[in-house]
Amino acid sequence: MMKLLPAVLTVALVLAAAVPASSQEKAKETYPRVYVKTNVGGFTIELYPDKAPETVANFLNYVDKGYYAGTVFHRVIKGFMIQGGGFTPDMSQKEPAPPIKNEAYNGLKNKKYTIAMARTNVIDSATSQFFINTADNTALDFREKSQTGFGYCVFGKVIEGTDVIDKIEMVQTTSKGSYDDVPVKPVIIKAMTLMTEEK
């Protein structure tokens, strides 16, 4: 087996060299993209299933079922993040699917305009809610597999419409019932759509 390895590597290198540069570049552009339409504008999220396969599959399942339509960005903190994906405009919480594994150890960082899963203090508790970082939030990154160091799983990034994220970040907020940082005027997700390669 050890003697076969160099030959296998040689074949792999030859095949890689035979692939045109344009095809290699195209391969990098095959990440799924989701268009998010809100009442204040739209933006596009690129997802990274190679880094967070379970998280991306979970998110796309909600998108496919139309779960996010009619939900709001219910928590907005300037200089930090905007959070959505679980509440309706009257601050009623929607019933989510079971929680998923936290893939925060995937090497992706909570940098500005990245999207990550929201969760409780329980490490593997993320369901439908997500947040978009509006700053480089290094404190939310994975440090170690512990209660305080596990961090929040980044699984994509806003690649178009960052001005809409900036606009949402600046809305006026208030407290509603037991919830703080709630936009005074609801920021509603009208639809989320998985974009085709042609688009």
Per cent of the chain over pLDDT 90 is 83
- Report which of residues 132 and 1 the model is more confident about: 132
Average pLDDT, rounded, for the chain: 89
Q: For 7, phi and psi rounded to 5 degrees?
A: -65, -40
State residue 15's pLDDT score.
38
CA-wise closest residue to 42 among 195, 165, 134: 165
CA-wise closest residue to 145 among 99, 98, 106, 100: 106
SS3 191: strand
Six-digit token pair at 45? 């999220």
State residue 30's pLDDT score.
87
Residues 6+ apart with CB under 8 A from 19: none
State residue 1's pLDDT score.
41
State residue 196's pLDDT score.
75
**pLDDT tens, position by position, 74-120:** 999 999 999 999 999 999 999 999 999 999 999 999 999 999 999 99
**pLDDT tens, position by position, 49-80:** 999 999 999 999 999 999 999 999 999 999 99
Per cent of the chain over pLDDT 70 is 84
Measured distance CA(42)–CA(54) in Å, rounded: 25
Residues 6+ apart with CB under 8 A from 136: 109, 110, 111, 112
Six-digit token pair at 111? 């940098």
Average pLDDT in the 163-189 region?
97
Confidence of residue 28 (pLDDT cuts 50, 70, 90): low
- Report which of residues 18 and 179 the model is more confident about: 179
Confidence of residue 18 (pLDDT cuts 50, 70, 90): very low
Q: Based on the number of CB atoms within 10 Å of its own CB, is 84 exposed (0-12), middle (13-18) or buried (19 or more)?
A: buried
Check whether 2 has a pLDDT greater than 90: no
CA-wise closest residue to 151 among 132, 160, 163, 138: 138
Q: Tell me the domains of the chain and their CATH numbers.
A: 32-194 (2.40.100.10)
Q: Which amino acid is at 30?
A: T
Average pLDDT in the 147-162 region?
97
